[in-house]
Chain A
Amino acid sequence: MARERKPKLAVWKFASCDGCQLSLLDCEDELLAVADKITIANFPEASRAVIKGPYDVSLVEGSITTPHDAERIHKVRRASKVLVTIGACATAGGIQALRNFSDVKDFVAIVYPSPEYIVTLNKSTPISDHVFVDYELRGCPINKYQLLEVVSAFLIGRKPIIPPYSVCMECKRKGNICVMVAHGTPCLGPVTQAGCGALCPSYNRGCYGCFGPKETPNTNSLAEWCKKLNVSRDDLTRFFRNFNAYADSFRKESEAHER
Chain B
Amino acid sequence: MILVLESGNLQSLFDTLISEKYQIIGPTLDNSALIYDEITNVDDLPVGYTDEQDGGRYRLVKSGGKKYFDYVVGQHTWKRYLYPPEKKLFELKRKGDGFEIVENKQEIHKRAFIGVRACEIEAIRIQDEILLEGPYKDADYERCRQNIFIVAVNCVRPGGTCFCVSMGTGPRATKGFDLAITEIVDNSGHYFLIESGTKAGEKIMKEIKGKEADQNAIETADRLMKEAENKMGRRLDTDDIKELLYRNFESSRWEVVAQRCLNCGNCTLVCPTCFCINIEDISGLEVNSAKRVRKWDSCFTLDHSYIYGGSVRTSAKARYRQWLTHKLASWIDQFGMSGCVGCGRCITWCPVGIDITEEVQAIRESEGKGKIMADKEE
Enumerate chain A interface residues (CB-CB to B < 8 A). Answer: 30, 33-34, 36-37, 148-149, 151-152, 155-156, 158, 161, 163-166, 168-169, 172-175, 177-178, 180-182, 184, 187, 189-191, 204, 214-218, 220-222, 224-225
Contacts and interface: CB of A to CB of B under 8 A. Distances in A.
A215 B57 CA distance: 25
A191 B260 CA distance: 12
B166 interface: no
A172 B267 CA distance: 10
Contacts of B259: 218, 220-221
Contacts of B30: 177
Given A173-B86, A173-B296, A215-B302, 16 more contacts: A148-B285, A158-B283, A161-B280, A165-B298, A166-B263, A168-B265, A168-B266, A169-B269, A175-B80, A177-B75, A191-B262, A216-B314, A218-B259, A218-B263, A221-B261, A222-B262
Interface string B278-303: 00101111110000000110101111
A180 B351 contact: yes
B263 A173 contact: no
Nearest to B287: A156
Contacts, number: 131
A216 B263 contact: yes
Contacts of B261: 218, 221
Contacts of B225: none
6 contacts: A152-B284, A155-B285, A168-B264, A174-B85, A178-B351, A182-B75
B5 interface: no
Given A33-B285, A152-B285, A215-B302, A175 B76 contact: yes
Interface in B191-213: none
B: interface residue count bin: 35 or more
Given A175-B80, A221-B352, A222-B351, A164 B75 contact: no
A36 B286 CA distance: 9
User: Which 7 pairs of residues, A with B, have the shortest CB-CB distance?
Assistant: A177-B33, A190-B264, A173-B85, A172-B269, A190-B262, A166-B264, A165-B301
B12 to A, nearest CB: 30
Contacts of B21: none
Nearest to B266: A168
A216 B348 contact: no
Contact of B262 (A158, A175, A182, A218): A218
B254 interface: no
Contacts of B350: 181
A174 B31 CA distance: 15
Contacts of A221: 259-262, 352
Nearest to A172: B269
B316 interface: yes
Contacts of A36: 285
A123 to B, nearest CB: 29
Most buried by B among A173, A216, A222: A216
A225 B353 contact: yes
B273 to A, nearest CB: 15
Contacts of A152: 283-285
Given A177-B75, A178-B349, A218 B316 contact: yes
A168 B351 CA distance: 10
A164 to B, nearest CB: 7
Contacts of A182: 33, 58-60, 75
Contacts of A148: 284-285
Contacts of A172: 85, 265-266, 269-270, 296
Contact of A173 (B59, B260, B269): B269
